[in-house]
Amino acid sequence: MAQSHSSQSTSSATPSKRWRAQLPSVFPVLVAITADTAASAAVHITHALAQECGAVPTVLHVVQEDLAQSPAATGTMGSIPEAALDPAYRTAQLLALEDQVQQTLGALPAWQYDVEVGATVSTIVQRAHELCAELVILGLPQHNFFRRAFVRDTMQSIAENTQSAVLAVRPELIHRPESILVAVDFSIVSLRAAHLACQLVAPGGRIILVYVQADLPPDSSADSTRITADGTSTLETALTSLIDELTSQKTVTITSVIAHGSSIHGVKEAALRMHPDVIALGARHHSAVDWFFGDSVSTELVSERQWSLLLAPE
C-alpha cells in the first residue's frame, strides 16, 4: 500500500446528483430468505435498517416450482400452475416464514410477508421491480462447493436485472456493518457504492476507500501519477475530494488507501488487512464469458463468499 489518509466531517448535506445512491428517509427493501443459516443474518440486518434507517421491509420466500410440484408438496405428480397451488400449502409456507422471522428476532415485526412460487431469480427480480426496492437483501451461505455456482449466478442475475442495490450477508453479520471497504475506480457505479456504503454503515463506523493502481512503467505519464503544485498526486487529490464530498453528507470517518497490482489482488489484500464487515463495489454488467472465467472483481468475491458484499447497480 502506498498511502492512506482519513477525514471526518459533520457539515450539512449538499444536494445530491441524480446518479448518487442516496436513500430517501423511508424506502422499500426486499429481503429474500431461505431455510438455511444465512437467513438469520439477513433478517437481523433488515431489522436494524428498519429501526434506524427508515427501511420498509418485504420478506419474500420463493418456493421453487419443482419443489412445489413434487408429490410431497401436492400429493400428485405433474405440472401444477401457481394459481392452482393448494391454498393450504401456501398458508403453511407463509406461517413457516413468519415463524422463522419471529424465532430469529424474538418477535414478529409488522412487515409484509410473501410466499411466491416460481424460479428464484426471476421471482426476486420481479418483486423488487414491483416494490421499487432500493435494496435487495440476501443471505450468503457458508462455502459449499455444490452451491457455489448457484449463489454466484443468483447474485449476478439479480444485480444485473434490477435497479436495486444488492446486500449479501454472511451468517456472522447480524448487525449493521461497522466497517465497509469500498473498491473505488471513480466510475459511476463505484461512486454509487461509496455513497450507499456511507448510508448503511453503523453510526460511528468506518469507510475504507481502496483505489487499485496498476503497476506502470517508470516513464509513464498517467494522470494519476502527475504531481500538482502543492506536491500531491492527482489521484490523492481526487480521493481527498471524494472524501470531502462523502463526509459533507453524513458524519462518517473515511480512510483511503492506494494499492498496486491487479484489481482483485489489491481489493482482497486490503480486505485481509482491514477486516471489513462488508466489501462494497459497483456491479457492472458482464458477459456470460466474463462471469464463467471470473473476469470480474465482483465475480471472484461472490464466488469465494469470504466477505459480505454490497453491490451497487450500474
Q: What angle do CA 50, 193, 24 make, to 5 degrees?
A: 40
Domains and CATH numbers, the chain: 1-22+177-314 (3.40.50.620), 24-133 (3.40.50.620)
Does 269 score more than 50 pLDDT? Answer: yes
pLDDT of 152 reads: 63
290 — pLDDT class (breaks 50, 70, 90)? very low
63 — pLDDT class (breaks 50, 70, 90)? confident
Average the pLDDT over each of 94-98, 152-156, 251-255 and give the range with the smallest value.
152-156
The three cell numbers locating residue 239: 480521493
* DSSP symbol at 84: G
Residue 312's φ and ψ, nearest 5 degrees, are -90, 135
pLDDT of 227 reads: 47
Instruction: Give dist(CA 133, CA 60) in Å, integer.
Output: 12
What would the mean pLDDT of 306-313 be, rounded to a whole number?
Answer: 89
What would the mean pLDDT of 55-78 be, rounded to a whole number?
Answer: 65
Q: Specify the higher pLDDT residue, 77 or 126.
A: 126
The three cell numbers locating residue 204: 460511528
Q: Where are the extended beta strands (E) located within 99-141?
A: 112-117, 135-139
User: If you count them, how many residues does the chain have?
Assistant: 314
Q: Which helix (H) or strand (E) holds 250?
A: none
pLDDT (tens digit per residue) in 133-189: 999 999 887 655 545 555 666 777 888 888 899 999 998 999 999 999 999 999 998
22 — pLDDT class (breaks 50, 70, 90)? confident
pLDDT of 13 reads: 36
pLDDT of 96 reads: 93
The three cell numbers locating residue 158: 439479480
301 — pLDDT class (breaks 50, 70, 90)? confident
